């Protein structure tokens, strides 16, 4: 007598960053970039966080996407390599904060935009990769066909919300979010 197993279909779990780690080593070893300033949660700025934050962790626990981490000194930072890898701007972090760290009336949530590193990008290195485009719900990343190789990413800064979806899924960690140029 045989028993049949029934299983429920698994929910899509997002990108498996651990399987992509081998790509990071090859492309990161070639150029050591300076460590950028940490990205603070939406509706905050570095000065406000450092002055008013009690480092209680309420905002970290409230983030449904799991991208807020305790950074240097226990202050909250955004890590697009954690959790779902994207900010949905839901406001749960701001709602959970008992200190006056967040300014939820501030529009937009932050003034950052994606920057694609030519030294790290797989497409620039000749590998066909369009992961960032596929992850971008705002269609801020485009790939135009080009002769002699795979298409290269082009960012439309006016469309970029700074959500980090592209940075969170990039297999080579070629995308960072940086303050918009004034």
List, in order, residues 6 or more apart from 172 with CB less than 8 Å away.
Answer: 23, 24, 27, 28, 120, 121, 122, 129
Is 129 annotated as a binding-site member? no
**Residue 87 labeled ligand binder:** yes
The reply, when asked if residue 170 is annotated as ligand binding, is: yes
Domains belonging to the chain, first-starting first, are 21-30+110-182 (3.30.70.20), 40-109 (3.30.70)
State yes or no: 53 annotated in a binding site. Answer: yes
121 known member of a binding site: no
Q: Confirm or deny that 97 is annotated as ligand binding.
A: yes
**Interval 14-69: pLDDT, tens:** 344 444 444 444 444 444 445 668 899 999 987 778 889 999 999 999 999 999 99
DSSP tag of 121: -
**Structure confidence by residue, pLDDT tens digits, 95-137:** 999 998 999 887 788 889 999 999 999 999 989 899 999 999 9
Q: Is 59 annotated as a binding residue?
A: yes
- Do 174 and 117 meet the contact criterion of CB atoms below 8 Å apart? yes
Cis bond before residue 108 (omega within 30° of 0): yes
* Residue 160 labeled ligand binder: yes
Residues 102, 64: Cα–Cα separation, whole Å? 17
Residue 141: phi and psi, rounded to 5, are -110, 125
Q: Please, what sign has the CA dihedral across residues 102, 182, 67, 139?
A: positive
């Amino acid at each position: 007598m045989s028993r049949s197993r029934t299983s429920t279909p698994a929910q899509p779990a997002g990108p498996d960053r651990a399987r992509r780690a081998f790509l990071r080593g090859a492309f990161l070893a070639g150029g050591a970039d300076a460590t950028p300033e940490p990205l603070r949660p939406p509706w905050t700025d570095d000065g406000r966080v450092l002055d008013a934050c009690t480092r209680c962790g309420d905002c970290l626990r409230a983030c449904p996407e799991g991208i807020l981490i305790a950074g240097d000194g226990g202050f909250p930072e955004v890590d697009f390599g954690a959790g779902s890898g994207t900010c949905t701007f839901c406001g749960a972090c701001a709602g959970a904060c008992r200190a006056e760290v967040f300014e939820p009336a501030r529009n937009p949530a932050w003034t950052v935009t994606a920057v694609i590193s030519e030294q790290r990008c797989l497409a620039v290195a000749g590998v066909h990769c369009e992961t960032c485009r596929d992850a971008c719900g705002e269609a801020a990343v485009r790939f135009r066909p080009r002769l002699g190789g795979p298409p290269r990413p082009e960012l439309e800064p006016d469309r970029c919300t700074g959500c980090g979806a592209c940075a969170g899924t990039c297999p080579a960690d070629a995308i960072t979010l940086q303050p918009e140029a004034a």
